[in-house]
Structure 1
Amino acid sequence: MVRWIILLFFFASCHVAAFEFSVTESEFNSWDKRCKTAYAGSIVGRNSRFFRDMTPQQSAEARKFGEAAGGAWHYCAGLILLQRAASTIGNERNSNLQSALLEIRFTYNKIKPEHPWYAEVHIDYAKALITSGDKRDGFAVLNRLIQTLPDNSLPYTALAFYLRRENKLEQAIECLQSAPELLKNDSAELNYFLGWYSMEAGNIGGAVDYAKRAYALNYPVQALRQRLAQQGHNL
């Protein structure tokens, strides 16, 4: 009798944890190709109107792709739920945020550090935590990510972004400057934000130097160049 109770509890738990997320057409179109593929790897995705013409081989490949990224359909669902939270208020917003946390956490706990999606999953998990008010854990996620991927620019720029948003501009600059020299020499994104935050801190000379390096590395956004030009510094 006890054995059957345990089995029933197990199957009930599996049902609660089942992936039942569905998207609207506009939400589906907002996903990049990776998320569309990951969603196709889930049972819900395969049964949706978006993948009616999938072959069994394509379905198996999508499943393999999503599983290799820690059940990435959960992460991708979390991204949509974060979007929904941004456009709702009150209890609906809170519900979307909590659901986003649960979905992204599933992939966050499973994805391996060597996976190309690892940094993005961690950064978006930190975003969900911070947005829901859990700043301490959100910042802890980003700090651990820097330790895990010290040669990746994304953890530094993400942590610096949230530090700046907390009015900790000097700490944001220090975070970016703490990156390895090789990364600072090669990352257009890192130099762009060092330039932007240096400009905000009143260090125009430093801002110009970082901006020159960012644009020499082909950073596509021209906002920093334009802001410096308004102050008489043409790059």
Structure 2
Amino acid sequence: MTGHTTGTREQWLAARLELLQAEKELTRRGDELAQQRQNLPWVRIDKAYAFDSEDGKASLRELFRGRSQLLVYHFMFGPDYTAGCPSCSAIADGFNGIAVHLANHDVMLWAVSRAPLAKLQAYKQRMGWTFPWASSFGGDFNPDFNVFFTEEQQRNGTIEYNYARGGHAMDAAKVPTPVARFAASCGTDAPTYSRERPGLSAFVLEDGVVYHTYSAYARGVDGIWGMNQWLDRAPKGRNQTEGPWWRRHDEYEAR
């Protein structure tokens, strides 16, 4: 016998119509926020960033590949990792299908990580992904866009992530279980794992000049995590009280 509220079809419909109004309000508010994002001032980028890609060395401008807009997912995969972050991997599982649509709407999608290109390519092959993925190994791109921090920053608590300062070095005895588990699954320890951070950055190319237009971090990238959008519509939601349950898609037991 379920402990959840039950009712008649008429009661369900009345509640659903009430919810529909709230959903419409959220949709309208989402449209307003999207416009606010697009209205942010653009910041010119004059620094010469260099990436390693499957086609060789590339500048930030060359990542546009003829489009006027560029979206970069900052994928947590540090040089010391042996595999990509499970959460970033779950997000990236949705990129294959949408990349072609974005490209045909004048938007280029890339993942960028600090790990050397060979590691990224091997993991990409393991995951069966086809979207473009570049290495920023040895460059300033990740620290400049606040998705990588040094051990000294971590130790001194001078990390600035998601537009706020904080994040001291982790006490090994107090590492949250999910962080320790994810770090181990990436072949590293929790402090090293946590110096990489996820995020999304947007750029535009206009009159030969590249501008930074937007960045989001932490829960700010929740909207591009496809499975969560589906789970939010499932009867029991994300089951967050049980902690992170997801794995890389090739690590689940067959069901």
TM-score by length of 1: 0.24
Q: Give 1 or 2 for the bigger CA radius of gyration.
A: 1
Q: Considering fraction of residues, name the structure with more strand.
A: 2
